[in-house]
Amino acid sequence: MGIRQGAMENLALTDAISASFWRDKRVLLTGHTGFKGSWLTLWLHRLGAKVTGISLPPATAPNLYAEAKIDAFCQSHFCDIRDTTALTEIVQAAHPEIVFHLAAQPLVRASYREPRATFATNVMGTVHVLDALRGIESARVAVMVTTDKVYRNNEEYRSYREDDALGGLDPYSASKAACEIVIASYRDAFLSAQGVAVASARAGNVIGGGDWSDDRVIPDAVRAWQAGRPLQVRRPQAVRPWQHVLDLLAGYMTLAHKLWERSALADSYNFGPETSEAVTVRELVEVARAAYGKGDVHYNESPEGPHESGWLTLDVAKARVALGVRPKLTLAQALNQTMAWYRAQHGGADALILCQSEIAAYEALC
């Protein structure tokens, strides 16, 4: 295990992320004010899609949605997905052809503090989005984003496959596992017959510039080091599958394109790095610190607090074989790119220009 510096093998995704496919597509994106949602909105607009966003207002200050002026690139609606009436009205007015559902309560530790809100947002919110698509004649594809934590984690030293048992010890993981059952039910009971190809995307931990979320190691590191404080690391030996946000979003977009062409591909898919790229939190932090150029770290080898998985990696062979998805960036490259983004933005660079430049550079790899 370790962080490699070399480049990943390139695999063409040109068709999946080209303007020839996305131009004038009506795309509905829930969670567009979040970190991943902001990047995806910007990228889809760049490719010519007409994006309608549904989300709560940004949860942090600063946030990428405001810093990169994402509202200029979509029809933005602040709406709680637990409000089924308001949500349905927006969906019906948008006449979406492709849906990306990212809106969620996304944090494990927050789910212990607010379990009912977590289940209401993640499970019933997903029900509301899927139910709003019933009878929408324009709808063709729905990519429903869950998480790598949907699997019943027995702390085995192996990578989870899509056919492994679902489960979750914490409320967040359990809520997302329940989402998987909801997604399959709506696909089989309603949407498949309507001509909507519905798939779930189970993604690992994501890094990239512009994430200021709480309880995530890279944003926590950036906040601490910019303030001249040491980063406090709870579980340095925990293993996770980190990947760059553009690698992940390219996977989502590829899945949507493939579903448009072949509805029979509607299923669940893991997205993440190759298993060899999964590393400990300590390894991640040390490379991030070197890339950032400064920063102290305090590692807590005996952390207190609620349960969090010690080992979690994904088998991504299905997405590689069925969809042709393969990461373009190694973890070392992703970390270097991420920390360079934060350094530049902190130094006064425009967040929008930084994002646009990264997207253009990524497209050149495809």
Which pLDDT score is estimated for 12? Answer: 41
- In whole angstroms, give the CA distance from residue 78 to residue 119: 20
Contact (Cβ atoms closer than 8 angstroms) between residue 339 and residue 291 = yes
Listed residue (162, 138, 337, 320) closest to 246, CA to CA: 337
Q: How far apart are the first and last CA of the chain?
A: 27
Which pLDDT score is estimated for 2? Answer: 60
Which pLDDT score is estimated for 17? Answer: 77
Which pLDDT score is estimated for 275? Answer: 82
Question: Top-level CATH class of 19-303+312-363?
Answer: alpha beta
Contact (Cβ atoms closer than 8 angstroms) between residue 171 and residue 106 = no
- In whole angstroms, give the CA distance from residue 342 to residue 321: 34
**348-293-8-46 Cα dihedral, nearest 10 degrees:** -10
Contact (Cβ atoms closer than 8 angstroms) between residue 194 and residue 141 = no
The sign of the torsion formed by the CA atoms of 262, 265, 269, 275 equals: negative
The sign of the torsion formed by the CA atoms of 36, 48, 78, 197 equals: negative
Partners of 53 in beta bridges = 29, 76
Partners of 239 in beta bridges = 280, 311
**DSSP 8-state secondary structure symbol assigned to residue 157:** S
The neighbour count for residue 246, using CB atoms within 10 Å, is: 26
Contact (Cβ atoms closer than 8 angstroms) between residue 159 and residue 314 = yes
The ranges assigned to domains in the chain are: 19-303+312-363
Contact (Cβ atoms closer than 8 angstroms) between residue 295 and residue 231 = yes
Residue with tokens 């909105």: 41
Listed residue (236, 252, 349, 354) closest to 288, CA to CA: 236
Give the pair of three-digit tokens for residue 143: 């990519």
- In whole angstroms, give the CA distance from residue 202 to residue 318: 12
> ω into residue 327 within 30 of 0, thus cis?
no
Which pLDDT score is estimated for 345? Answer: 98
Listed residue (182, 168, 141) closest to 26, CA to CA: 141
Contact (Cβ atoms closer than 8 angstroms) between residue 310 and residue 155 = yes
What global pTM score does this model have? Answer: 0.94
Which pLDDT score is estimated for 19? Answer: 81
Which pLDDT score is estimated for 8? Answer: 39
Give the pair of three-digit tokens for residue 178: 């329940």
> What one-character-per-residue DSSP string does 97-109 give?
SEEEE--S---HH
Each of the 366 residues of the chain gets a pLDDT tens digit; together they read: 566 554 433 334 445 678 899 999 999 999 999 999 999 999 999 999 999 999 999 999 999 999 999 999 999 999 999 999 999 999 999 999 999 999 999 999 999 999 999 999 999 999 999 999 999 999 999 999 999 999 998 877 789 999 999 999 999 999 999 999 999 999 999 999 999 999 999 998 999 999 999 889 999 999 999 999 999 998 899 998 899 999 999 999 999 999 999 999 999 999 999 888 889 999 999 999 999 999 999 998 776 666 666 788 999 999 999 999 999 999 999 999 999 999 999 999 999 999 999 999 999 998
